[in-house]
Homo-oligomer: A and B are copies of this chain.
Amino acid sequence: VPSSPPPPTSAGGDGVDERAARVGMVGGGQLARMTHRAAIDLGVELHVLTPSPDDPAAAAGASFHAGAPDDLEAMLAFGRAVDVVTLDHELVPTAGLDAVRDAGTPVHPAPAALRFAQDKLHARRGFAELDLPVPAFTAVDTPEEVERFAADHGWPVVLKARAGGYDGRGVEVVHDRDAAAQVLAHPGAWLVEANVAIQTEIAVVLARGPDGATVVYPVVETVQRDGICIELVMPARIAEPLQQQARTLADQIAQAIDAVGILAVELFVTDDQTLVINEVATRPHNSGHATIEGSVTSQFSNHLRAVLGWPLGLTAMRAPVAATVNLLGADQPVDPRTRLPLALRDPRLHVHLYGKDWRPGRKLGHVTVLGDHPDEALAAARLGAARLTAVTPP
């Protein structure tokens, strides 16, 4: 069992280490940036291991350590500089994390938990063994294997890269053997899944401490376009028993994989109102962004508290509804930073810009609006997002 940082010390004694807790986050993107914002409040020092000082978290002031997660020496030095190591993305080889842990710095999530986020086949197999709801799946190497799977489950099928895929990359719906052959020609290992008839996509975000203490956020409805999450509504507009079922399922997964920190579980609500697990992430997650304003405690604050072994904050909502819309780079150069005077005309709009330069389709930020009614909050958030990103703003 990984140890958590030492308990509170009585102050004033000899040799008492009176200083800020230091959390090391591998990765310096927007998730680390928003974690830094939460770290400032708690007086926690956030350190990030990331290639460039211009990366979003370093630019916002997290302590910058130059390096990549596949650089074992950089990982070990990073581990020595902090009290606990965590991460803001999945693409972290377990070798470095193992080495950090073996050298005495706790790593949360543990590599064994992280593997459920890194390796889709491992996750499918693990959840299936636990009798948790997953789509029919199998590992495939050849178009013939895909065809055999489709004979049982019907076309189309879904081909997924076993590792490395995110934001829709590495997920392909294929309608025949030729299309399958084209996908499998790409490098990497693949699995095939039955194509689930999806009514709604939802996500459950929870925080779990090293002692197993868990707090679960309200279920979030997620809207995807081209495999990228574009909108969130919290709480999800699905029946309460289904919400409860989703929260219980996420809690079961957290216990099963011994997640520590934020765990996000993406689920499909099928046409016949059953739940199917899509993917899990063992870190702060896009589907938790509405918690910054919508919840008493944000996912970023609770991630820090969880990995430090501190008590977790309340996940209750501060308004009936929170709607979040992601800011994706337009097809032509539009810098949301130049659009703030327009977007802020709506005095309710909460803007989060990630400090990134424009690129088409790039996640540049998100906006959140709290309200009494989902349609109204969503409309306001969409208007704000369009004002910040559209080539011709409304």
Contacts and interface: CB of A to CB of B under 8 A. Distances in A.
Interface of A: 7-9, 11-12, 16-21, 33, 36-37, 40-43, 60-62, 215, 296-297, 305, 308-314, 318-319, 332-342, 344-345, 347-355, 357-358, 365, 370, 391
Given A41-B350, A335-B11, A20 B344 contact: no
A11 B344 contact: no
A11 B335 CA distance: 6
B296 A370 contact: yes
Contact of A43 (B17, B62, B347, B354): B354
Contacts of A43: 336-337, 340, 351, 353-355, 365
A347 B11 contact: no
Of all A-B residue pairs in the complex, the 9 with the closest CB atoms, nearest first, are A61-B61, A43-B353, A18-B335, A11-B334, A314-B347, A12-B333, A311-B344, A40-B60, A8-B341
Given A36-B61, A318-B318, A337 B21 contact: yes
Contacts of A21: 337, 340
Copies of this protein, total? 2
Contacts of A355: 20, 43
A26 to B, nearest CB: 19
Given A12-B332, A40-B36, A19 B337 contact: yes
A391 B319 CA distance: 37
A19 B335 CA distance: 8
Contacts of A11: 332-335, 338-339, 358, 391
A305 B344 contact: yes
B18 A358 contact: yes
Contacts of A349: 313
B40 A337 contact: no
A347 B310 contact: no
Nearest to A292: B41
A25 to B, nearest CB: 14
A344 B310 contact: yes
Contact of A9 (B33, B308, B319, B338): B338
Contacts of A391: 11-12
Contact of A347 (B12, B42, B312, B338): B312
Contacts of A370: 296, 318
A43 to B, nearest CB: 3
Contacts of A312: 344, 347
A391 B43 CA distance: 20
B41 A352 contact: yes
A20 to B, nearest CB: 5
A8 B340 CA distance: 7
Chain B CB count within 10 A is highest, among A312, A313, A332, A370, for A313
Contacts of A336: 43
A8 B342 CA distance: 7
Given A9-B338, A42-B340, A313-B348, 15 more contacts: A17-B338, A18-B333, A36-B61, A41-B350, A41-B352, A42-B351, A43-B337, A43-B340, A43-B354, A43-B365, A296-B348, A310-B340, A310-B341, A311-B345, A312-B347
A8 B41 CA distance: 31
A17 to B, nearest CB: 8
